[in-house]
């Protein structure tokens, strides 16, 4: 019987490794930025085209590579970071496996230009699908410039799995932010389609956070600083009043490496216990320094998950440190604000004895509660204001004749007989039909109604816009401004009108007629969050995403009291929709109960 096991060719092995290392353009950005940092760069530029699908170029002023190293860096498992297995437990660099550049070169067109400080000429190397096309000596500046073009050109199936440019850009910005926040002393520049997204100058940690997330972030930060034998913690947490409904600005760095840890996140959330509303999440930027030998970062290909030797001790220290800082800067409550101050005895009464005789009690011996009293007009010591009908009736006579009582009861019975809808717990609307009843979710039903209205106004009709008397200026981070700008045309089709875009703000001068001015910020924040959660797929347009986001934000919420007319209007509008049975997010909007089903419940 012949042998069937054989070694894979290098180009096939590299493509398999690329499946782990390169999941999307953001993966390439992460690897190239980290290589530049390991090379000792003080200035790094990131240039992108078409969300990295066409071009990803990183230029640094690091120490560069020789001609031999430039060729070797694209070989599998070729690295300068480790030499023996024990080095894996004492790592101080970003990369160490030697797989990144080999994997990238297997699925893209790569051009590397590099030169060391003492060399007169540098090296230019071109590779396509793991094959070296050319290697020449060129004149270039010190450092390295690596351009990755046409990502996944030889794996079209992988390229088709990529999301829209907006989503892929957001992932790239996420990776860029993580690297930039981990190294505030290094200056970073990011351009996308020839537009400057970030220009971060080297500075301290607070300056870097404010530069990335906008000037308004400065007032939100509470400093954290603690040093022990096994752990050093520094960074910032945001004040409780600036908490968010979604987990967004939460960053953990261990030895200048971004990590994800639900365990440590729980420690921070525990420190905020009692300070946040239910469902809110704190923002934080925490930097932990631990001995390199006490962590293992070689447990996941992306190196964002690490293992600690003493997790419980780190948990306790982190929780105590955050809690202490919140109290030190007068953020944590030190008083019981729920105490009723009216129950407290005044200070001067605690020091003095009450003097004087006991108060006298007078009784009217002729008072007869059963004796008919003449109705007296109630007088007030001040002039009545307008719109007092609701409370004025409390002070009028309650004497009603039997005939009036019968009329009131009859009218009430008539009202019950003619009413077709009922609201249940301010959450559901019950509507009567011939075959039984229909139970409608008021929030999901209104989402469906608004969704179809917005989608029609955006795509079919010309969206109506109302101009604001005073333009509204809203602050966002550079990342969010970039995302809004990419959707500018779609938002204008929806009825928004923009006046000015800056790096950290946008000025709005017109909004859709169905949107109030107070809802502008909420709508845009929810829209950005939906995009961050990858609601838009490559097969969906921004129109659909916007219609869903607007409908979710503006729909009737659970707990809203509806009048009878509002209930009937909701029912009629729902069943006038093209798809009344489901919400825009695939949930059932109503449930029908026939008389037979109701009878079954009681005849079991």
pLDDT in tens, 95-116: 555 678 888 998 999 999 999 9
Q: Is 574 helix (H, G, I), strand (E, B) or coil?
A: helix
219 pLDDT exceeds 90? Answer: no
pLDDT for the residue 356: 58
pLDDT for the residue 309: 78
Residues 171 and 254 in one domain: no
pLDDT for the residue 252: 92
Residues 161 and 33 in one domain: yes
The string of pLDDT tens digits covering residues 314-349 is: 899 999 999 988 888 765 554 444 444 444 444 444
Q: Is 97 helix (H, G, I), strand (E, B) or coil?
A: coil
Give the mean pLDDT of 429-447: 89
Pick the last residue of a domain from 328, 350, 376: 328
Specify the CATH number for the domain of residue 521. 3.30.1370.100
* Closest residue by Cα to residue 292 from 263, 268, 256: 256
pLDDT for the residue 513: 78
Give the mean pLDDT of 492-502: 84
Cβ–Cβ under 8 Å, residues 529 and 514: no
Give the mean pLDDT of 67-87: 73
pLDDT for the residue 298: 59
**Global pTM value:** 0.65
* Closest residue by Cα to residue 273 from 243, 250, 251: 243
pLDDT for the residue 19: 64
Residues 194 and 220 in one domain: no
Give the mean pLDDT of 68-78: 83
Is residue 417, in this structure, part of any structural domain at all? no
List strands edge to edge, sheet with 131-138: 131-138, 122-128, 109-115, 143-149, 55-60, 43-49, 187-192, 195-200
484 pLDDT exceeds 70? Answer: yes
Distance CA(284)–CA(239), nearest Å, equals 9
pLDDT for the residue 390: 42
User: What is the total count of domains within the chain?
Assistant: 3
Residues 154 and 256 in one domain: no
254 pLDDT exceeds 80? Answer: yes
**Full DSSP string of 299-353:** TSTTS---EES-HHHHHHHHHHHHHHHHHHTT-S--S-TTS-GGGSPPHHHHHS-
* Closest residue by Cα to residue 310 from 276, 272, 263: 263
Give the mean pLDDT of 589-599: 88
When mean pLDDT is compared across 306-320, 450-464, 484-498, the lowest value belongs to: 450-464
Query: By percentage, how much of the chain surpasses pLDDT 70?
Result: 76
Site of tokens 């875009």: 501
Is residue 305, in this structure, part of any structural domain at all? yes
pLDDT for the residue 85: 60
* Structural domain harbouring 59: 10-200
Q: Is 41 helix (H, G, I), strand (E, B) or coil?
A: coil
Q: How confident is the model at residue 36 (pLDDT cuts 50, 70, 90)?
A: very high
Query: By percentage, how much of the chain surpasses pLDDT 90?
Result: 25
pLDDT for the residue 539: 43
Return the HEC string of 486-527: HCHHHHHHHCCEEEEECCCEEEEEEEECCCCHHHHHHHHHHH
Q: How confident is the model at residue 413 (pLDDT cuts 50, 70, 90)?
A: very low
**Full DSSP string of 263-285:** HHHHHHHHHTTTTS-TT-B--EE
Is residue 291, in this structure, part of any structural domain at all? yes
Q: Say which residue, 276 or 374, is predicted with more confidence.
A: 276
Half-sphere exposure of 85 (CA within 13 A, CB side): 0
Residues 243 and 293 in one domain: yes
Is residue 604, in this structure, part of any structural domain at all? no
Mean per-residue pLDDT of the chain: 79
pLDDT for the residue 116: 93
Specify the CATH number for the domain of residue 157. 3.30.565.10
pLDDT for the residue 395: 39
Is residue 391, in this structure, part of any structural domain at all? no
78 pLDDT exceeds 50? Answer: yes
């Amino acid at each position: 019987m012949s042998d069937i096991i054989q070694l894979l060719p290098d180009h096939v092995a590299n493509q398999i490794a690329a499946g782990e290392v390169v999941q999307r353009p953001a993966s390439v950005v992460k690897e190239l930025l980290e290589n530049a940092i390991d090379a000792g760069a003080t200035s790094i530029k990131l240039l992108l085209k078409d969300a990295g699908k066409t071009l990803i170029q990183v230029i640094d002023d690091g120490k560069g590579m020789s001609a031999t190293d430039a060729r070797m860096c694209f070989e599998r498992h070729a690295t300068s970071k480790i030499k023996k297995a024990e080095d894996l437990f004492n790592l101080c660099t970003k990369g160490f496996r030697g797989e990144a550049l080999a994997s990238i070169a297997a699925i893209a067109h790569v051009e590397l230009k590099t030169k060391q400080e003492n060399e007169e000429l540098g090296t230019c190397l071109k590779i396509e699908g793991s094959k070296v096309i050319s290697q020449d000596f060129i004149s270039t500046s010190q450092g390295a410039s690596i351009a990755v073009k046409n990502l996944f050109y030889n794996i079209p199936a992988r390229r088709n799995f990529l999301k829209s440019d907006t989503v892929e850009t957001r992932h790239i910005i996420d990776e860029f932010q993580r690297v930039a926040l981990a190294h505030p002393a290094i200056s970073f520049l990011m351009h996308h389609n020839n537009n400057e997204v970030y220009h971060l100058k080297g500075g301290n940690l607070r300056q870097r956070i404010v530069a990335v997330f906008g000037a308004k972030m400065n007032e939100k930060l509470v400093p954290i600083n603690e040093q022990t034998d096994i752990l050093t913690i520094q960074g910032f947490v945001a004040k409780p009043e600036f908490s968010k409904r979604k987990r967004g600005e939460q960053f953990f760095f261990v030895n200048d490496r971004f990590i994800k840890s639900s365990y440590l996140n729980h420690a921070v959330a525990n420190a905020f216990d009692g300070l946040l509303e239910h469902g809110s999440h704190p923002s934080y930027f925490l930097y932990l320094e631990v001995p390199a030998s006490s962590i293992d970062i070689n447990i996941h290909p992306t190196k964002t998950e690490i293992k600690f030797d003493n997790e419980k001790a780190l948990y306790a220290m982190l929780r105590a440190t955050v809690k202490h800082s919140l109290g030190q800067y007068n953020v944590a409550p030190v008083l019981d604000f729920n105490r009723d101050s009216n129950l407290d005895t005044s200070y001067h009464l605690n020091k003095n004895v009450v003097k004087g005789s006991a108060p006298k009690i007078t009784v009217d011996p002729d008072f007869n509660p059963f004796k008919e009293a003449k109705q007296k007009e109630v007088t007030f010591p001040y002039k009545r204001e307008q719109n007092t009908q609701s409370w004025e009736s409390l002070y009028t006579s309650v004497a009603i004749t039997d005939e009036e009582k019968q009329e009131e009861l009859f009218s009430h019975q008539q009202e019950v007989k003619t009413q077709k809808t009922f609201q249940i717990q301010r959450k559901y609307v019950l509507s009567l039909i011939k075959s039984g009843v229909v139970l409608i979710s008021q929030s999901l039903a209104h989402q469906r109604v608004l969704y179809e209205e917005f989608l029609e106004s955006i795509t079919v009709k010309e969206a109506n816009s109302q101009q604001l008397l005073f333009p509204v200026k809203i602050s966002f981070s550079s990342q969010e401004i970039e995302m809004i700008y990419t959707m500018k045309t779609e938002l204008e089709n929806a009825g928004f009108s923009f006046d000015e875009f800056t790096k950290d703000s946008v000025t709005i001068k017109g909004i859709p007629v169905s949107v109030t001015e107070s809802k502008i910020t909420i709508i845009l924040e929810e829209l950005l969050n939906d995009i961050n959660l990858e609601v838009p797929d490559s097969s969906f347009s921004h129109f659909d995403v916007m219609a869903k986001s607007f409908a979710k934000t503006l729909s009737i919420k659970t707990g809203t009291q509806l009048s009878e007319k509002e209930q009937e209007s909701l029912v009629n509008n729902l069943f006038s929709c093209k798809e009344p049975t489901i919400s825009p997010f695939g949930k059932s909007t109503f449930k029908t109960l026939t008389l037979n089903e109701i009878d079954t419940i009681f005849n079991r």
